[in-house]
Amino acid sequence: MGPLSRRRKQDPDDIPSEDEEDRDYTVRAVERVCSILNLLQESVDGVSLNSVARTTSLPKSSAFRYLWTLEAHRYVERDTDAGAFRLGLGFVGMQSRHLELLRERARPWLEKLRDEFEETTNLGILDGDSVIYLDIIESRRSVRLAASNGHRDPLHSTALGKAIAAHLPEERVRSMLEQTGMPERTSATITTVRDYLAELAKVRRVGHAVDDGENELDGRCVAVPILGTRLPAAISLSAPAARFAVEDIGKVGAALRQIAGQIASARAGDTPQSG
């Protein structure tokens, strides 16, 4: 047996007073990380390195090192084409196992749907106050409408966003719209809370959501929620509007609803039957 350790009984005078507990014990580096993450959370389209440096009062080289470290841990994603940074999938990683299971279950069904309609299919979830793409099965056509994994889109102008929001408490939807605003992405974008809530009522009534040139001028997208899971998720099919006729929206919506039900009840590894 090793030597006995002696632990001094805590003296009442050693217990921090209420005033001491109220003191600011934050670390400057942590404060800067929080400032960066708060800045990214407020932006749908991403934030430039200059904006991050300005907000944190850091030299650009130091701001880049913070961002590079956060990117390495998937808390930040970099859009090299736009030169912008945005929140990454690392935060969703709190439920990473659920996400991975959902992605595994959804992929074969999304592939089946892509092959049936020859258009891009998507899996998205609500992350904060925007929609993030978890998986994208791109159309094999040379001209197609497709985002990229990890891309974030607004709640108010996308079919995925509408499909998810239609099944959230109204107060939560109002709060998210208040935080992000409702910028006019195209001339067709819904830009008032009143009209958006009316649109959500329609989504609940018909069973699917539609983005008819509201997020991308020449795009059309239909989405349905995946109900019965732990995550606010939805699937969608998107295509150039010239190839995706309005008359086909109902047929696509019905196919999506069937697929969403299969995803919700399937187990990882289940494969859709051919035919």
Query: What does 174-226 look like in DSSP terms, one character per residue?
Result: HHHHHHH----SSTT---SHHHHHHHHHHHHHHS-EEEESSSSTTEEEEEEEE
Is residue 206 in some structural domain?
yes
pLDDT in tens, 172-198: 899 899 988 999 999 999 999 999 999
Same domain? 57 vs 108: no
Q: How many CB atoms lie within 10 A of CB 37?
A: 16
Is residue 274 in some structural domain?
no
Same domain? 81 vs 98: no
User: Structural domain of residue 83, as residue ranges?
Assistant: 12-87
Identify the domain boundary among 63, 87, 111: 87
Structure tokens that stand for 142 in this block: 């040379």
| Residue 267 pLDDT | 56
Is residue 121 in some structural domain?
yes
Identify the domain boundary among 46, 69, 87: 87
Place of tokens 């299919």: 121
Same domain? 100 vs 217: yes
Closest CA to 126 of 226, 202, 208: 226
| Residue 2 pLDDT | 42
Q: Are 109 and 135 in contact (CB under 8 A)?
A: no
Which residue(s) pair with 222 in the sheet?
210, 237
Q: Structure pTM? A: 0.65
CATH of the domain at 110: 3.30.450.40
Please report, for residues 8, 21, 41, the alpha-carbon distance to residue 17 in angstroms, rounded to integers and kept in the order given. 20, 6, 35
Same domain? 191 vs 59: no
Domains held by the chain: number: 2
Residues of the chain with pLDDT below 50 are 1-25, 268-269, 275
pLDDT in tens, 229-274: 767 899 999 999 999 999 999 999 999 999 999 998 865 445 666 5
